A and B are shown apart, each in its own frame.
Chain A
Amino acid sequence: MNVLSNEVREQTTDAPESKEVKSYAAARRRRTILVNVLRVLFIVVIIGGWELGTRVGFIDPFFWGQPSGILNQLVIWVTQGTAQGPLWEQIATTLEETLLGFGIGVVLGIIFGVLLGTNRFLADILGPYIKALNAIPRVVLGPLFIIALGLDMPSKVALAVVMVFFIVFFNAFQGVREVDRNLLANARILGASQRQLTTQVILPSALTWIIASLHTSFSFALVGAVVGEFLGSTRGIGLLTQTAMSTFNSNGVFASMVILAVVALLMEALVTALEHRLLHWRPNTVSDVTI
C-alpha cells in the first residue's frame, strides 16, 4: 500500500557523538554554575547592604524597614498568627478572591471576545463603549463594589473580575480577528458547520493570544483582590498590609509584600504549566519574556 515514502526515510538520521559536542556541553555547564553563583551573590549584596545600612544608621529602619526585622515579622506571623487571625487564613482568603476573579474574568473575557470577534455588527455597536470602559482606571470601581457588595469576598472578586476581563477580552477579540483565512476556508470545505468553525478552528487558533494574556491578567487579578482589601475588608493579605501601614510598621508592609511575591510566583508557575499543556502543538511559545 505504501507507495509514497521517499521523503520520510531521511528524517531519522542520528548525529554522531563527538568531542566537540562534549566540550560544548561542559562549557554550558560552567556558564550555568557561574550565573547561579552571581545570582546568589547579587541578592546577598543587596540585602546585606540594606541590613548593614540600618545597623550603621545610614538607613532609618523605622521608615525603610530592616531585613532582619522583616524576617522576624514573618516568623511571628507564621508562629503566632496575625492580629486578624492565622496567617494561612489571610493567604487563603486573598488566593480565593484572586482565583475566583481570575476564573470568572477569563471566562467572560473569552466569551465576549469570541462573540464580538466573530460578529462584526455587534462589535461595531459595542466597540466605543468597551473602549470607554477600558479607558477608566478600573481600581476606582473598588469603592463602588465595597458599597454595593459589602466588606466580604464578593466585592474583591468583582474588582478582580473587571481587572481581568478587559485584558482577556481584547486578546480574545484580536485572536479571533487574526485567524488564518486559509484555515477557515479549509475547514468549511472539509464540512465544518458554523458551530464547528467556532469551537474547532477559531477558538484553538485564538488560544495563543488568550493564553498570552493569562500571565498579565493573573497579576491584575491579584492587584484587584489586594486593592479591594485595602479599601475595606475583614481578612486577607491586603488588610495585613493596610494594618501594618496604619501602625507605621514598615517591616510588616515588607513582610506582606514578600508573601504576595511568593504567592504570585507560585501562581505564575501554574499559568506557565497550563500554557505548555494547552499550546503543546506550537514549536516554541513566544507569549512571554523569560529572564
Chain B
Amino acid sequence: MNTIRPMTNSSNNEETVLEQGTPAIDLQNVTKRFRTPSGGVYTALRDLTMSVAHGEFCAIVGPTGSGKSTTLSLISGLERPSAGEVRVMGQTVEGIDPRIGYVFQTDAVFPWKNVLSNVATGPMFRHQPKAEVLARAREWLARVGLAGFEDRYPHQLSGGMRKRVALAQTFINEPQILLMDEPFSALDVQTRNLMGGELLQLWSTSSASVVFVTHDLEEAIALADRVIVLTAGPATVKGIYTVDLPRPRNVAEIRFDPHFIDLYHDIWEDLRNEVMISYERAKQRG
C-alpha cells in the first residue's frame, strides 16, 4: 500500500535519517482484550495489522464500538496490546512516547487553567523555560485564531474554541505522530467542516503522521490520504482505500467533487455491512 503524497513537505529534519522503509506507525497482528466489570472478557481488537507512513494522514472508520479508540490508545502507549506488536518509528511502544500528540473526543482541556496556560501545559510539564514557552503558546493561539483570548477560562469558550485550544495544546509539542479520536464529533456540521480545514492547514506546516478516527465517512475522505475501514467489533481491517484527491483541499466543498462521490460509494459498500452488523447487535442487547 504505497501512497504518494501530493502535498509538499516542508521539513527535512532528523526523521529522514530513519530508514525509508520503516513506517511511522506499525501494528502487527494486534489483539486487545479488556476485562469487563462483570468478570467477562471483551475483545476490542482481533489480529489487527496496519501501518502508517511518515507524514501520511490516515483515517480509520468503522461502526460504533468497533475499537477505533482502542487502536489509538495502543499507539499512544496509554494501553498495552494483549497480543501482537505496536511499533512507533520502528521502536516497540513501551510507555507514552513524547513524540506523540493526542486530541481527545471529549473536552480534555484543563478547566482550572486559562487558555494560555492550557496551551503551555505540555512544554511546562517537560520543564522548558517558562518565558519561551509562554511566547510560543501565544504564537500558537494566534495560529488557531484565539489571539486575545489568553486570559479566558474554558467554560467561557464555545465548543469550537475549546477544540482550537486542544489543537494548540497538542501542536505546541510538535508531535511527529498525531492521534485524533473523533475530535470534531461534538461540534455542529459547519464548525466541523471549518475545523477540518484548519486542521489540514496546521498539519501542512508540520511533518506529522496522523491517525484520525471518525465514524463520519465524509470527514474521513475529505481529510485523509488513506482510509482504513474496520469491521464491527472485535475489530480487524476490512479494507484500505487510497484517497487520491489533490491537496490543498477545500474540506467544505470537496464533497461535490465527482471523484469524491465515487470514493464514497466504494468505501460505503464496505462499511455498510459492518454498520448493519453492529446495529443489529446493539438492538439485540437493548
By a beta-carbon cutoff of 8 Å, the part of chain A in contact with chain B is 1-8, 11, 180, 182-183, 185-193, 196, 200-201, 204-205, 207, 281-283
Query: How distant is the Cα of A196 from the Cα of B104 in the complex, in angstroms?
Result: 20
B104–A182 CB distance below 8 A: yes
A3–B201 CB distance below 8 A: yes
| Chain A hits for B146, CB < 8 A | 8
Can you list 27 pairs linking A and B with CB atoms under 8 Å apart? A1-B143, A4-B145, A4-B164, A4-B198, A7-B145, A7-B158, A7-B161, A7-B191, A8-B145, A8-B146, A8-B161, A182-B104, A182-B108, A183-B108, A185-B78, A189-B76, A189-B78, A190-B121, A190-B169, A191-B98, A191-B173, A192-B125, A193-B125, A201-B110, A207-B112, A281-B112, A281-B114
The answer to whether the Cβ of B28 comes within 8 Å of any Cβ in the partner chain is no
A205–B112 CB distance below 8 A: yes
Query: How distant is the Cα of A183 from the Cα of B164 in the complex, in angstroms?
Result: 16
A191–B102 CB distance below 8 A: no
Query: How distant is the Cα of A134 from the Cα of B101 in the complex, in angstroms?
Result: 45
Interface members, chain B 140-184 (any A CB < 8 Å): 142-149, 153-155, 158, 160-161, 164, 169, 173
A185–B102 CB distance below 8 A: yes
Query: How distant is the Cα of A180 from the Cα of B173 in the complex, in angstroms?
Result: 22
A2–B145 CB distance below 8 A: yes
Query: How distant is the Cα of A270 from the Cα of B263 in the complex, in angstroms?
Result: 64
The answer to whether the Cβ of B122 comes within 8 Å of any Cβ in the partner chain is yes
Residue of B nearest to A4 (CB): B145
Query: How distant is the Cα of A182 from the Cα of B104 in the complex, in angstroms?
Result: 8
Task: From A5, A188, A205, A283, give the contact of B96 (CB < 8 A).
Answer: A188
Q: Report the contact-size class of chain B (Cβ under 8 Å from the partner).
A: 35 or more
B143–A2 CB distance below 8 A: yes
CB distance from A282 to the nearest CB of B (A): 7
| Chain B hits for A192, CB < 8 A | 125
B143–A3 CB distance below 8 A: yes
| Chain A hits for B153, CB < 8 A | 281
Closest 8 CB pairs of A and B: A5-B145, A4-B145, A186-B108, A190-B122, A191-B125, A281-B112, A189-B102, A283-B155
A187–B155 CB distance below 8 A: no
A185–B108 CB distance below 8 A: yes
The answer to whether the Cβ of B270 comes within 8 Å of any Cβ in the partner chain is no
